[in-house]
Amino acid sequence: MQQSRRISTLNGDSSDDGWGLFNLARKRKADGAQIIELTQGEHDIGTDARILQAMNDATRRGVTGYSPVPGMAALRQAVAERLTERTGVATTPDHVQITPGGQAGLFAAHCAACDPGDRALFIDPYYATYPGTLRAVGAVPVAVEARSRDGFQPRGTAIAEKAAGAKSLLINTPNNPTGAVYSPETLAGITGAVRDHDLWLISDEVYDTQVWQGRHLSPRALPDMAERTLVVGSMSKSHAMTGSRLGWVVGPPEVVENLTFLANATTYGVPGFVQEAGLFALSLGTDFEAEIAAPFRRRRETVLRLVEAQNVVRAIPAQGAMYTMLDIRATGLSGEDFGRRLLDEEAIAVMPGESFGHAAAGHVRLALTVGDDLLEDAVARLLRLAAALAG
C-alpha cells in the first residue's frame, strides 16, 4: 500500500526534517553521554508550581470532559484583552480560537488561508517546522530570503518579487532562529507587499514577551491589516508551558468561526484543565512574563561578551527570543559540519543554520536554555574550537 503524497512528502526532497543533529545528540544522551544541549527552545525551569496547582485543582473539580471547541469563554476573553492591551486593536472573544499550541495554530491558520496547490510564502531563515506545515495543508512553500548582512530583516521588495500568484505570507517576529525583531520600516515593507498582492499575513508572535532591543509591533495593528492578518500566539515561551500545548489564532470572526469547524474535524478542542491553567497563568500579569524572560536577556549578554573578545565567530546581535545565531563561516565549515565537530569533540549540541534554511547556512543557533555558568563554559569551548579550525 502506498502512503498519500501529502504525508510522504512533508520534508520535500529531503529525508531530513532539520532535526538530525538534535536527534543524534539526544540518542547519545540516552546512551549515557554527558551532552550540553543548546538545541531546543525549552526553558531550564519547569512550569511554575502555581500554574501546575491550578491545573491540578481543575482536574480535581472534574474539568476533565469535553471542553468548548473554540476554547473556554473566559480564556478567549483573557486572550482578547491581552491582544487589545498589547496591540491597541480592539479584540473580542469572537476573534480568538484556542488551539493545542502554536504549532497547531500555524497549521490552522494556513488551512484558512490556502487551498491545495496555492503558493505560500515564508521568510528564510525559518523555524524548522514551517515548510512541512505548509506542505501538510497542501500548499507549495516558497522561501523569501532575509540576509545575514541585513540583520535578517526581510525586505518588502524581496517579498513582492515572489508574491505573484501567492495566497499567504508567514512571518515570525521576534524571530526564531535569528533573534531579529522586525523594525517598523521592515514591517511597513512587509505589509505594503501584502496589501499590494492581496495576501493573507500569518504572524507568528510566540516570542512577543522576549524583546531585548526595540519593541514588538504586531502587523495586525498597522493600517488596513486587521482584516487580513492571522496572529498565532502561545503560552509555551511566555509562561514556560511548552508541554501544556496551549495557543491561539486571532483573526477576523468569520475566519475564527471556520477554524472552529476545522477543530471539530481535527483536535476537537484543548483539554479544559489545561485551559484553566492557562487562564490562571495569564492572570499573573506582565511581571511574571518578564521574570520568565529575564534569564534569556542575561544569557544573551554573556554570549555577546564572549564573542566580542575574539575575531573568528561573529554574533548576529539578537534583539529578541531565547536564541543567539553565530556566524561560523570563518572556520571554513558549514553549520552542519561545525555542529558535528562540536558534538563529537566537545559534547555540545547546537542547531546547524542549515536546519533553518539556505540563508542561515554557515551559522549555528544556540538556545540559551542552560544555567548561566554552564552556558558560559559551553560558548567558550565553542569559540576555542572555532579558532582552532580557522587557524
The mean pLDDT value for 21-45 works out to 94
Residue 391 pLDDT > 90? no
pLDDT, residue 278, reads 98
Q: Taking the alpha carbons of 120, 352, 318, 45 in that order, is the dihedral positive or negative?
A: positive
Residue-averaged pLDDT of the chain: 96
- pLDDT the model gives residue 56: 98
Higher pLDDT, 9 or 296: 296
Residue 268 in this model has a pLDDT that exceeds 90? yes
Banded model confidence at residue 18, pLDDT cuts 50, 70, 90: confident
Comparing 18 with 285, the larger pLDDT belongs to 285
Q: Mean per-residue pLDDT for 226-239?
A: 98
Answer whether residue 16 shows pLDDT above 80.
no
Query: Quick one: pLDDT band at residue 6, thresholds 50, 70, 90?
Result: confident
Beta bridge partners of 123: 144
C-alpha cell, 310: 575574539
- What letter would DSSP give residue 154? P
Predicted confidence (pLDDT) at residue 301 exceeds the cutoff of 70 = yes
Query: What percentage of residues in the chain have a pLDDT greater than 70?
Result: 99
Q: Is it the case that residue 7 has pLDDT exceeding 80? A: yes
pLDDT at 9: 86
Q: Please tell me the distance from the alpha carbon of residue 253 to that of residue 251, in angstroms, as a whole number.
A: 6
Average pLDDT over residues 87-108: 97
Euclidean distance between CA atoms 167 and 179, whole angstroms: 26
Instruction: Let me know if 132 is exposed, middle or buried by CB neighbors in 10 A (0-12, 13-18, 19+).
Output: middle
State the pLDDT confidence band at 20, using cuts at 50, 70 and 90.
confident
List Cα–Cα distances, 61 to 107, 276, 294, 383, in angstroms: 32, 11, 34, 53
Please give the average per-residue pLDDT across 130-138, as a whole number. 96
Q: How far is the C-alpha of 46 from the C-alpha of 24, rounded, in Å? A: 24
Distance separating alpha carbons of residues 266 and 127, to the nearest angstrom: 23
- pLDDT, residue 17, reads 65
Angle between helices 372-390 and 285-308 (to 10 degrees): 30
Supply the pTM of this predicted model.
0.95
Q: Which residue has the cell 548582512?
A: 149
pLDDT at 50: 98
| pLDDT tens sequence across 40-65 | 999 999 999 999 999 999 999 999 99
Span 234-244, average pLDDT:
98
Instruction: Indicate if the pLDDT at residue 361 is higher than 70.
Output: yes
pLDDT per position as a tens digit, 245-255? 999 999 999 99
- For the cut 80, the answer to whether the pLDDT of residue 14 exceeds it is no
- 15 pLDDT higher than 70: no
275, pLDDT greater than 80: yes
Question: pLDDT (tens digit, 9 = 90+) per residue, 154-163?
Answer: 999 999 999 9
Tell me what pLDDT residue 181 has. Answer: 97
pLDDT at 143 over 70: yes
Does residue 123 register a pLDDT over 80?
yes
Note the pLDDT of residue 19.
84
Structural domains of the chain, with CATH:
5-46+287-383 (3.90.1150.10), 65-284 (3.40.640.10)
